[in-house]
Structure 1
Amino acid sequence: MNSNRLHRLSSALGVAVACSIPVAGIGGSAWAHADPPAPVARLDLGRYLGTWYQLAAVPQYFNLSCARDTRAEYALDAQGDVSVHNSCITWSGSVSEIWGTATVTDPATDAQLHVSFPSVPTQDALYGPTNYIVTALGDDYSWALVTDPYRVSGFVLSRATMLDPAQWRDVSAAITGAGENTCWYLTSPTTGGLDRLAPLCTQ
């Protein structure tokens, strides 16, 4: 990663962290909630399959190498679980990708899953507790908000490479409704969509 890109990333991360400090100070932890975020009432898994573009996310160690065009592709596998193929373009211009499996942990809604990646330590168990919750969806499945029981992660996913202003307002409301802060999220540069890395609360 060159120095200019590193500076932009560090600056954006600094703003995101700074925005979250008051929240952490009030509750003792930015993710201190009595209950995990609620899933959507019912997820139509068949409609949810396919390609999703990541338009914003809470920074995680595994996605810091992604410079742009991060996406997830979901399909049913032979066992009836969901195959996961995540990919992105790195800062060096190469393609980074990983394959995994998602299994439903909440048959009542189908909106809570356990996602595993065989090559990743601590994430290699095929079956396990919920770590992927679909907490909000556009009525037409044009966008989705995904987090986890502890609100450590967060992903804004979209069927298209961009959302309109009304959809972004709905996404921001969903993030707040899930007990998270839009400042924790950094936009994900996408060809045909947003072209800069910045805290979502500044958009």
Structure 2
Amino acid sequence: MKQSTALSIATGVAAAALGGLFLYSRATRPPVINPDVPEPAKPVDLTRYLGKWYELARHENRFQKGLDAVTAEYTLREDGKIGVFNSGCQGGPQGERSAVEGRAIVVDDATNAKLKVSFFGPLYTGDYWVLDHGDDYDWSIVGEPSGRYLWLLSRDAKPAPAVAEALLRRVEALGYDRWALRVTRQE
């Protein structure tokens, strides 16, 4: 009897902890800025997409809160997966740099535009959709199906103002509120 009571209590505590973690993750998600996320506009040549990207703007989220000088580097791993190395500086471009490594797999072989990214092992996985990109792979707009997250990326840390404005117009054409984006300060 005592053993089954202890097991019931342990099961209840574990369920409560998981429930609390679920509620915390739901409560800290950013609001939806596009309720009708479009399918990616064109296929992605992964070999051309690899390399270093600079974040120009994003819809602020808890895991990047306060980060500037944000970069993302994608590499092809020996196991065929995509290596992901994201870094940023807390409190401005001169702040302390932190980084996180992950991996991604393609989940849409027809276009290579939809990936599943994993950080911290299987504990966190997320969708990564390349919604659009420049023909020369000089810019990219990345989102995911919930419409809560969005990133504008460029190969240049500080592209010309006309390029940045064209990207913001493209974001609006995809159905996102450009004014909900936080501009990322680069060095």
Identify if the C-alpha distance between structure 1 residues 187 and 71 changes in structure 2 by more than 3 Å, giving closer, same or farther: same
Cα distance in structure 2, aligned partners of 1:182 and 1:30? 9
- Aligned partners of 2:140 and 2:154 also within 8 Å: yes
Q: 2:96 aligns with which of 86, 94, 97?
A: 94
Contact 1:37 1:148 (8 Å CA) reproduced:
no
Q: TM-score, normalised by structure 1?
A: 0.71
CA offsets per residue over residues 33-75 of structure 1, 9 Å max, x none?
2xx3211321010000000000100000001141x21000100
**Residues 152-174 of structure 1 deviation map (CA, whole Å, 9 limit, x = unaligned):** 10001010111223322321222
Aligned residue number for residue 146 of structure 1: 142
Q: SS state of the match for residue 38, structure 1? A: coil
Per the TM alignment, residue 120 of structure 1 is displaced from its structure 2 partner at its CA by 8.0
- 1:115 alignment partner in structure 2: 117
Measure, in 1, the Cα distance between the counterparts of 2:34 and 2:155.
28
Structure 1 segments of 4+ aligned residues over 4 angstroms from their partners: none
Aligned pairs for 1:4-153 (under 5 A) are: 30-33=33-36, 36-66=37-67, 68-91=68-91, 93-118=95-120, 121=123, 123-124=124-125, 131-153=127-149
Q: Secondary structure at the match of 1:131?
A: strand
> Which has the larger Rg?
2
| Total equivalences in the alignment | 155
Relative to its length, the structure with more strand (as a share) is 2
Tell me, which stretches of 5 or more residues in structure 1 are unaligned? 1-23, 125-129, 192-203
Structure 2 letter corresponding to 1:82: I
Q: Is the 8 A contact 2:42 2:132 kept in 1?
A: no
Matches of 1:45 and 1:77, distance apart in 2: 12
- Residues 53 and 155 of structure 2 are in contact (CA less than 8 Å); yes or no, is this contact kept in structure 1? yes
Q: Secondary structure at the match of 2:39?
A: coil
Segments of 5+ residues of structure 2 without an aligned counterpart are 1-30
- Tell me the TM-score normalised to structure 2 length: 0.76
Aligned-pair Cα RMSD in Å: 2.0
The alpha carbon displacement at 1:30 in A equals: 4.4
Q: Secondary structure of the residue that 2:98 maps to in structure 1?
A: strand
Partners of 2:88 and 2:98 within 8 A in 1: yes
Cα displacement (A) at 1:139: 2.0
* Kept in 2: contact 1:37–1:151 (CA 8 A): no
